[in-house]
Amino acid sequence: MTIQPGDTIPDTTIQLIDGEIKPCHTGELFAGRKVLLFGLPGAFTPTCSNKHLPGYISHYAEFQQRDISVMCLAVNDGYVMQAWAASQQVPAGLLMLADGNASFTRALGLELDGTAFGMGLRTRRFALYAEDGVVRVLQVEAPGELRVSTAEVMLAAIEH
């Protein structure tokens, strides 16, 4: 079942890329802070690399001004996410989350079966805003779209 507003972020182990690759618990990562988490099908894929992540990079300062941590989630290993962050010039502080086994993605109920495209299990394209580990806003994209999970849409949704 897909996570919903009012639900608590599930606690699983994930790899956090913040200069280095290190394991962390999502419960601790979301506790006591405001977080914008966006998920996407994969590092180095066209829409993710050309539009979704770059939108959050260009609006990162606006999230910082609101004291909101920004995190990017994909079902990729930590080394791929680290290389992608470097290639995209992700600013320090915008955290990349590598969910190589899709455990966090499945716990959120936001998995995508990409086997027909040779991609296996991936993360659906989405964005959520949480406060102290509780989801306040959730936007999940229809297949093949990038409309409701952009940085601009999420900034506007959080204002309300």
**Is 5 part of a structural domain of the chain?**
no
pLDDT tens digits for range 15-34: 999 889 999 999 999 999 99
**Is 131 part of a structural domain of the chain?**
no
Look up the CATH number of the domain holding residue 150: 3.40.30.10
**Is 2 part of a structural domain of the chain?**
no
**Is 60 part of a structural domain of the chain?**
yes
**Is 115 part of a structural domain of the chain?**
yes
pLDDT, mean over the chain: 95
Which two tokens mark 149?
């999970």
The arithmetic mean of pLDDT across residues 96-105, rounded, is 97
How high is the pLDDT of residue 160? 62
pLDDT tens digits for range 116-129: 887 778 899 999 99
Q: Which domain holds residue 57?
A: 13-126+136-159
The arithmetic mean of pLDDT across residues 63-79, rounded, is 97
**Is 153 part of a structural domain of the chain?**
yes
State percent of the chain over pLDDT 70: 99
Annotated active-site residue 24? The verdict is: no
In the chain the beta strands, taken as DSSP E runs, fall at 13-18, 20-25, 34-39, 68-74, 95-98, 111-113, 121-123, 126-131, 134-140
Residues 57, 94 contacting (CB under 8 angstroms)? yes
**Is 4 part of a structural domain of the chain?**
no
pLDDT band at 41 (very low <50, low <70, confident <90, very high): very high
The arithmetic mean of pLDDT across residues 125-149, rounded, is 97
**Is 23 part of a structural domain of the chain?**
yes
Whether residue 49 is predicted with pLDDT greater than 90 in this model: the reply is yes
Q: How many domains does the chain have?
A: 1
Q: How far is CA 5 from CA 1, 24, 126, 134, in A?
A: 13, 23, 13, 7
Catalytic choice (3, 9, 36, 48): 48
